[in-house]
Structure 1
Amino acid sequence: MNKTERTPEGIALTSIFLDLFRLNNRLLASGDRMVASLGLTIARWQVLGSIIAADRPQPVAWLARDMGANRQNVQRIVNDLEKEGLVSFQPNPHHRRAQLVVLSSKGKQTYEAAMSLQVPWVNEMSDGLRLEDIETMHRVMSALLEKLDGHGDVEEQS
């Protein structure tokens, strides 16, 4: 097959990508609405979750890497969270300028409140879906993420 023609799998995957873009936009909007009463956005909630998921305090660059996000965007969000008392900065014994981000008790309470809002929402979203289908979708998404992580940008491949 010609390199400029999509394979049947490529056509199917392109269709899924377009649906994923629409799904992502709707998930972001729904998440923003869900946590707005807590003073959060989906981006702030994601950063709080990344801090909690880390096994120890990390600098912003590491949080951004783990999230697959832009360091400058995560830094801006962390700065906002710090102003609101949801996180604090601690000295990093391994790097003088890259401070460690630590969740405050208010930040932990806010994150837990967001997660308590998420439980009924995600249960409703999963209603009627088969667990096997969800697990298959997760495996496919993980494989695609691995391919993207291993291949870099399209421009780099040209």
Structure 2
Amino acid sequence: MGGPPEPASVRDLVLAVFETNGRLVGAGNELVRPLGLTAAWWQVLGALGYSPTPLPVAHIARNMGLTRQAVQRVVDLLADRGLVSLEHNPHHRRARLVVLTAAGHAALHAAEAAVVPLDGAILERIGAERLAVAVAVLREMTSVIDQTFEAAATSAPPPPSEEAQ
């Protein structure tokens, strides 16, 4: 009881990430609601805005750790509102490229401006050096997760064929 505190575990980090993600989504919704956006819409706009090239839905989903179906629903809503357009993909006939329109760029810029005060408060409290370490830790954690599941997928036996059943 009175001994040294337990070192932080992976589970502690995972729970903290889940909690922080929930707070980020809630704060994001509050910040962009006056702009007619949701945090999910902002997330997709940001994925496109920070990408050097247009992306198909599957790549946006993979980059963000979301399902293709969830991203497709958001892209459809954004397209209906004129914030993105779907263009021909020279590398894949059916997977069209999602491209920010001028209105999409403006919406992303407005969302980014809305979060400046929160970003400043986080930077002031945590500091640039600790934020850089946190980003590195989370990216390494993502890498471990990806590698673990890729290895499991390649070593798993193939599912039984319909003919074998």
> TM-score scaled to structure 1, two decimals?
0.85
Please state if 1:116 is matched with 2:107: no
The percent of aligned pairs where both chains have the same amino acid is 37
Q: Deviations over 1:70-90 (max 9, x none)?
A: 111000000000000101111
Who is 1:96 aligned against? Answer: 93
Who is 1:79 aligned against? Answer: 76
Structure 2: distance between partners of 1:53 and 1:130: 23
Who is 1:3 aligned against? Answer: none
Q: Deviations over 1:9-28 (max 9, x none)?
A: 6x622122212211111111
AA of the residue aligned to 2:14: F
Who is 2:149 aligned against? Answer: 152
The root-mean-square deviation of aligned C-alpha atoms, in Å, is: 2.1
Instruction: Select between 77-86 and 130-139 the one with higher mean Cα deviation.
Output: 130-139
Equivalent of 1:29 in 26, 31, 39: 26
Q: Which runs of 5+ in 2 are unaligned?
A: 1-5, 157-165
Q: Deviations over 1:99-152 (max 9, x none)?
A: 111111111101000011111211012222233322222222122111101001
Q: Deviations over 1:3-55 (max 9, x none)?
A: xxxxx66x622122212211111111011100001111111101011111222
> TM-score scaled to structure 2, two decimals?
0.81
